[in-house]
Amino acid sequence: MKRIVGMLSAGMCALGLLADGGFSVTAGKSTLLVDTNGLSLTPSVAACPASRATGEPFWALLLEPHAVPAVHGQGVVITDAQQGAPRWEKLPDGVRLVYDTLTDGGRVFKIGLMLEIRGAGDAFTMSGSVTNSAHGWLLTGFTGPVLNGIATDLSRTPALLPEGFGKRINRVPAPDEKQREWQRLGNNYEASVVYPGVRGTMQWFALAGREGGLYVGSHDPLHRAKQLSLRYDPSSKRFGMAVRHDFFCRSGESVALAPVVIQPYAGSWHAAARLYRTWFDSVRKLRDVPAWTRDTSGWLLCILKQQNGEIMWPYTSLDKLCDVADARGLDILGLFGWAHGGHDHLYPDYIPCPEMGGVEALKKGLKEAKRRGKRTIIYANGQLQEREATEFWRTVGKDIAITRRDGTTYQHTYHKYRNIPVYRFDLGCLYAQAWYDRMLALAIQANELGADGILYDQLGMMAPMACYGEGHGHPVPSMAHEVERPVFLKRIADHMRQINPDFIVMTEGLHDCALDAISMFHGCTLGTYRTSASEMLVRLRASRVADPFPELFRTVFPEVMSTIRVPTPMMDRDMVNYTCVYGMRYEIESRYGPDVTYLREDRVPESDDYVHVVNKPDVTMMQATSPAEATRYLKEAIDFQRENAAFFWHGRFVDSQGFTLTGKDLVAKGFTAGDRFGVVIWNPLQNVTPFTLEVPGYALESASEPGRERVDPLAPMAASTVRLLRWKITSTSPKP
Ligand SMILES: [Zn+2]
């Protein structure tokens, strides 16, 4: 422990002066030391891992020559270890460090850096700003704070990362193990997520033990680009946690650094989830979703016309699609490939296709779907514009494509069939007015056609990227798919609400800065993919390096609706049960010709039926269950959820909080609903499994299962079944 030679007290927090020129800031009973060796955290919570400075930097500034065209390979990294002692000022709750200039050990840069480290409650917050007066230099990012020297054991204190719906890191990689979750970082390893995008859906992560842990969250109301990194040094067997902020700061500009909160907490990881949600609620609102949306079981995603021009579902067959959805209990039709170009072709020109029946047949089909009680969502890709082939690209789009620093554009391909050409797409820059105008026009068109919403595909997917395009309405360079993306989505959603309050905006993927615009997500992320019983059992063992951990996002944002992702025209019993227990919304997909004969004629395809298809559906899954049985069980499970919508659709997912379950290899999740509490249990095993369940403060009322309205609540669980046990509050004990 460092020797504190002086104290400056103010209220609950105190600033200590260390013998070697460092500082100590207190928050609650925790202490954060700042000195020439870095940051050291002495937490007040026994179960929170401590951090001991190792001499490695606790911040790093990244810069490069601001040359046009840009020059690669001349980046400079400046760290605290290269600087002399900063000026410091005492704050009421901490300390401000001021570096008037910065050096890389040789050169001196006219770059000012100010860092504030404050303690409040049980949390430490580091924030600050950087001012670039260095002519000819461009600042490209700041890493900090960095906590090093964290001694912990992932088997007892796993790391939770916000990739997709969540990921749990259970252990470090073995030396000979193929690196996937962990990437090499010099001699060390790093497991990281990039926010905001599908691989970084929230701005926090944690080392989360059973009794407590360490929360690190960037409380950045602007939701700017950043990377959250868990690090591991195999030689010392110590961990690190770092936040890297990605931005551009030109000479003459300043950037405020997003606050980063370091907070020891007691209890399960749900306490950390509450810390983030409490902050989130202080800066942002979730979208007020139209009532109909909450009452939907999920959707039938249907590609009407494919990339090769094959028409599978003409507009005159939408009633048949309603039949397919009805047989399975699905409430929404997601209409993809509905325009003249087919799926992933000729975007963003979306013209009702004469060969499919033309605009009047489409309107009639959508009206018929409405009469049948279905909701319809019309597709538009939120970023893709096909090069050369579309009028939009030729006249407008090529000038608003997201551009790399070498002047080329970021290009995507989505090749669906081996025997057709590969179409190339640029990405529309969301800053550009022309892109906004086209996307809004498509929403207005969807509403006028009679649809209940629009899906902007892919806008929940991409990580931010640098755009060097001129004339897009942003400084050059800027991060794209970053702060402008939620603004873009919300403007459209708000505009459409004025026209039709029931019209919704959906997107594919997930990230929390879109929550005030998006009413429902089309899942395409960790936690939404097909999960078998055997996969679930592996997760319960926590034996792999990492596991999907959908509990994470579901607990922070239980109101957020997302479909699961099964690009196959059926799902098996395991996936039905998985979707049910996690409270997600269903989907099946009709993508290719053999999918249509499966859905309309119960004909089970062979893999060869998809001969030219690049990414085939899960034929093995389709062959393992008869179409009639797959249809029957999905419908039965959805009917079961509809009957218990108070829990599944209107209730609040609380994960494992509020009840105690014993029973080997069972998955159980809680849902609160007013004075009721529901526990849904899934037995993924192939054998009958007994269990006990206690919900303190509640009395057991009844239980049911799909197809069984009344069951003995505490009877052993039959193989591969789900059950909902309904409890009623009996006391005023606090609800979870
Ligand atoms: Zn741009």
Task: Express each pLDDT in 189-209 by its tens digit.
Answer: 999 999 999 999 999 999 999
Q: Which of 12-16, 332-336, 566-570, 702-706 has the weakest average pLDDT?
A: 12-16
> 257 C-alpha to center of ligand 1: Å?
23
> 137 C-alpha to center of ligand 1: Å?
21
Tokens describing residue 198: 């599908």
Across residues 520-536, what is the average pLDDT? 97
> 400 C-alpha to center of ligand 1: Å?
6
**Fold designation for 4-162+202-283:** Beta-galactosidase; Chain A, domain 5 (2.70.98)
C-alpha 582/C-alpha 19 separation (Å) is 53
Alpha helix (H) ranges present in 542-679? 551-556, 573-581, 593-601, 619-624, 627-643, 645-648
> 384 C-alpha to center of ligand 1: Å?
14
> 472 C-alpha to center of ligand 1: Å?
5
Band of the pLDDT at 22, cuts 50, 70, 90? Answer: confident
Could you tell me where in the chain the CATH 2.60.40 domains are found? 651-729
> 721 C-alpha to center of ligand 1: Å?
50
Band of the pLDDT at 732, cuts 50, 70, 90? Answer: low
Q: What is the pLDDT of residue 17?
A: 80
> 635 C-alpha to center of ligand 1: Å?
46
> 580 C-alpha to center of ligand 1: Å?
41
Task: Determine which helix (DSSP H) or strand (DSSP E) holds 728, and give its type and residue range.
Answer: strand 721-729
Q: What is the pLDDT of residue 653?
A: 98
Using DSSP, state whether 461 is helix, strand or coil.
coil
Band of the pLDDT at 179, cuts 50, 70, 90? Answer: confident
Extended strands (E) in 165-294: 167-169, 183-185, 188-195, 204-208, 212-218, 226-233, 238-249, 254-266
Residue type, 304: L
Percent of the chain residues topping a pLDDT of 70: 96
Nearest residue to 311 (alpha-carbon basis) of 342, 344, 346: 342
Q: What is the pLDDT of residue 68?
A: 66
- For residue 330, what is the DSSP state? -
User: Which residues, at least 6 apart from 703, have a Cβ–Cβ distance to it below 8 Å?
Assistant: 710, 711, 712, 713, 723, 724, 725, 726
> 427 C-alpha to center of ligand 1: Å?
9
Could you tell me where in the chain the CATH 3.20.20.80 domains are found? 291-643
**49 in Cβ contact with 157 (< 8 Å):** yes
Across residues 275-281, what is the average pLDDT? 98
Percent of the chain residues topping a pLDDT of 90: 93
> 67 C-alpha to center of ligand 1: Å?
18
* pTM to 2 decimal places: 0.96
**28 in Cβ contact with 122 (< 8 Å):** yes
- Residue-level length of the chain: 736
Q: Is the pLDDT of residue 11 over 50?
A: no
> 69 C-alpha to center of ligand 1: Å?
16
Alpha helix (H) ranges present in 255-390? 269-283, 291-294, 318-328, 358-371
pLDDT of 657-683, one tens digit each?
999 999 999 999 999 999 999 999 999
Tokens describing residue 514: 């879109």
> 453 C-alpha to center of ligand 1: Å?
27
> 489 C-alpha to center of ligand 1: Å?
16
Cross-strand partners of 722: 682
> 237 C-alpha to center of ligand 1: Å?
43
State in Å, rounded, how far the first CA of the chain is from the last one: 39
**623 in Cβ contact with 604 (< 8 Å):** yes
> 652 C-alpha to center of ligand 1: Å?
39
**Fold designation for 651-729:** Immunoglobulin-like (2.60.40)
Task: Determine which helix (DSSP H) or strand (DSSP E) holds 456, and give its type and residue range.
Answer: strand 453-460
> 200 C-alpha to center of ligand 1: Å?
22
C-alpha 421/C-alpha 386 separation (Å) is 13
Across residues 423-434, what is the average pLDDT? 98
Question: Greater confidence, 19 or 95?
Answer: 95
Could you tell me where in the chain the CATH 2.70.98 domains are found? 4-162+202-283
> 408 C-alpha to center of ligand 1: Å?
12
**551 in Cβ contact with 166 (< 8 Å):** yes
**Fold designation for 291-643:** TIM Barrel (3.20.20)
Tokens describing residue 39: 């940051």
> 474 C-alpha to center of ligand 1: Å?
7
Q: What is the pLDDT of residue 509?
A: 98
Tokens describing residue 698: 């509640």
> 499 C-alpha to center of ligand 1: Å?
29
> 26 C-alpha to center of ligand 1: Å?
43
- Phi/psi at 279 (5° precision): -65, -45
> 516 C-alpha to center of ligand 1: Å?
23
> 75 C-alpha to center of ligand 1: Å?
23
Q: What is the pLDDT of residue 4?
A: 57
> 459 C-alpha to center of ligand 1: Å?
15
Looking up tokens 């509490």 gives 677
